[in-house]
Amino acid sequence: MTKLRRMVLDVLKTHEPKLTDLAVKLCSVEGIDGVNVTVYEIDKSTENIKITIEGFNLDYDAIKAIIESMNGVIHSIDEVAAGKKLIDEVKTPQDRY
């Protein structure tokens, strides 16, 4: 059975809890090897962030539950990767624009 290896999520969350707390909590999920959290926009009460998660056999429902328990909502799943190895996106001429 093919396992989910990478997931990139667009998330909106309140300022509290801190991003560091969210990242550490996500890393506690079985199968997650690493988490990157990048802030794209901040306003008075929220942060728009991108969360990149890598591991083996990622559990979307467990990840979603943690994000929601920490005052976040997933806007979209922007990327997924599955299989025996991770494949990086390849730039094509259409990506120039």
Provide the residue ranges of all domains of the chain, joining segments of one domain with +: 4-82
**pTM confidence score:** 0.89
Mean pLDDT across the chain, nearest whole number?
92
Structure confidence at residue 52 as a pLDDT band (50, 70, 90) = very high
CATH superfamily of 4-82: MTH889-like domain (3.30.70.1340)
As a whole number of angstroms, the distance between CA 80 and CA 86 comes to 10
Structure confidence at residue 17 as a pLDDT band (50, 70, 90) = very high
Please give the backbone phi and psi of residue 2, each rounded to the nearest 5 degrees, phi first: -75, 140
8 Å CB contact between 9 and 51 = yes
Structure confidence at residue 8 as a pLDDT band (50, 70, 90) = very high
How many CB atoms within 10 Å of residue 23?
A: 15
Nearest in space to 10 (alpha carbons), one of 44, 38, 43, 42: 38
